[in-house]
Chains A and B, each alone.
Chain A
Amino acid sequence: MTTFSVNGSTHRTDVDPEMPLLWFLRDLVGLTGTKYGCGLGLCGTCTVLVDGQPARACLLSVSELEGRAITTIEGLSPDGMHPVQAAWRELNVAQCGYCQSGQIMQAAALLAATPNPTDAEIDAAMSGNLCRCGTYPRIRAAIKRAAQGAQA
Chain B
Amino acid sequence: MNARIANAAMSEVANLSLSRRGFLRGIAAGTFVLATGLRPARAEATKYGAEAMSGGLKDDPRIFLTITDDGTVSLLCNRAEMGQGVRTSWAMVVADELEAELARVKVLQAPGDEARFGNQNTDGSRSMRHHFQALRRIGAAARQMLEAEAAARWQVPVAEVRAARHEVVHAASGRRIGFGALARDAALRPVPVADALVFKNPEDFRYIGRDGVALVDNVDITTGKAVYGIDARLEGMAYAVIARPPVYGGKVKRYDAARALQVPGVLKVVPIEETPIPSAFQPLGGIAVIAENTFAAIKGRSLLEIEWDDGPNARYDSAHYREALEAASRQPGKVVRSNGDVDAALAGAARRVEATYYMPHLAQAPMEPPTATARATQDLCELWCSVQNPEAIRTDLSKRFSLALDRVVVHTLLLGGGFGRKSKPDFASEAAILSRAMDGRPVKLTFTREDDLHNGYLHTVSVARLEAGLDAEGKAQAWLHRTVAPTIQSIFMPNAEQSGAFELAMGAVDMPFAIPNVRVENPPAQAHTRIGWFRSVSNIPHAFAIQSFAAELAAAAGRDPKDYLLELLGPDRVIDPAAVSDQWLYGEDPKRYAFDTARLRGVIERVAREAGWGRSLPSGHGLGIAAHRSFVSYAAVVVEVAVSADGKLTIPRVDIALDCGAVINPDRVRAQLEGAVIQGVSLATVGEISFKAGRVVQGNFHDYPVTRIDAAPKHIHTHLVIPTGFDAPLGGVGEPGLPPVAPALTNAIFAATGKRIRSLPIRDQLA
Contact = CB atoms under 8 A, between A and B. Distances in A.
A150 interface: no
A30 B215 contact: no
B287 interface: no
A140 interface: yes
Nearest to A77: B223
A129 B83 contact: no
A137 B674 contact: yes
Contacts of B81: 96
Contact of B671 (A38, A76, A92, A99): A92
A85 B222 contact: yes
B62 to A, nearest CB: 31
- Give the interface SS of chain A, mostly helix, strand, loop or mixed: loop
A95 B367 contact: no
Given A97-B226, A100-B222, A32 B4 contact: yes
A36 B215 contact: no
A33 B223 CA distance: 8
A98 interface: yes
B82 interface: yes
Contacts of A30: 2, 4, 233
A64 interface: no
A80 interface: yes
B219 A134 contact: no
Given A95-B672, A98-B414, A130-B706, 13 more contacts: A18-B299, A19-B295, A27-B239, A32-B227, A35-B367, A38-B701, A39-B449, A42-B700, A94-B215, A94-B221, A96-B414, A123-B709, A135-B675
Interface of B: 2, 4, 81-85, 214-215, 217-219, 221-228, 230-231, 233, 239, 264-265, 293-296, 298-299, 365-369, 414-419, 446, 448-449, 667-668, 671-672, 674-679, 682, 700-702, 706-710, 712-716
Given A16-B296, A33-B223, A123-B710, A98 B700 contact: no
Interface string A19-37: 1100100111011111111
Interface in A71-109: 72-74, 76, 80, 85, 88-89, 92, 94-101, 104
Given A127-B709, A132-B679, A134-B678, A85 B223 contact: yes
B706 A42 contact: no
A133 interface: yes
Contact of A134 (B85, B231, B679): B679
Q: Which of A19, A34, A136, A138 has the most CB of B within 10 A?
A: A136
Sorted nearest first, the 9 A-B pairs with minimum C-beta distance are A33-B224, A98-B416, A134-B678, A96-B83, A95-B83, A134-B675, A73-B224, A97-B221, A32-B231
Contact of A96 (B82, B701, B702): B82
B83 A97 contact: yes
Contact of B701 (A76, A80, A124, A130): A130
Contacts of A137: 674, 712-713, 715-716
Given A33-B225, A35-B368, A94-B221, A132 B702 contact: no
Given A39-B448, A89-B219, A28 B293 contact: yes
B662 to A, nearest CB: 20
A111 interface: no
Contacts of B296: 16
A125 B294 CA distance: 29
B588 to A, nearest CB: 26
A123 B651 CA distance: 14
Contacts of B707: 134
A131 interface: yes
A81 to B, nearest CB: 10
A27 B715 CA distance: 40
B293 A140 contact: no
B701 A133 contact: no
Given A16-B296, A85-B223, A139 B700 contact: no
A126 interface: yes
A42 B4 contact: no
B417 A98 contact: yes
Contacts of A19: 293, 295
B295 A37 contact: no
Given A27-B295, A35-B416, A132 B365 contact: yes
Contacts of B449: 37-40, 43
A134 B265 CA distance: 38
Contacts of A97: 83, 217, 221, 226, 414, 416
A16 B226 CA distance: 28
A46 to B, nearest CB: 11
Nearest to B213: A92
Nearest to B701: A42
A53 B233 CA distance: 29
Given A27-B239, A134-B678, A127 B295 contact: no
A131 B709 CA distance: 8
Nearest to B237: A27
Contacts of B708: 127-130
Given A89-B214, A98-B416, A127-B708, A132 B367 contact: yes
B293 A23 contact: yes
Given A37-B367, A96-B367, A132 B4 contact: no
A132 B366 contact: yes
B215 A92 contact: yes
A116 to B, nearest CB: 18
Q: Which of B224, B231, B674, B710 has the most CB of A within 10 A?
A: B224
A123 B217 CA distance: 26
B2 A96 contact: no
Contacts of B294: 23, 26-27, 36
A131 B367 contact: yes
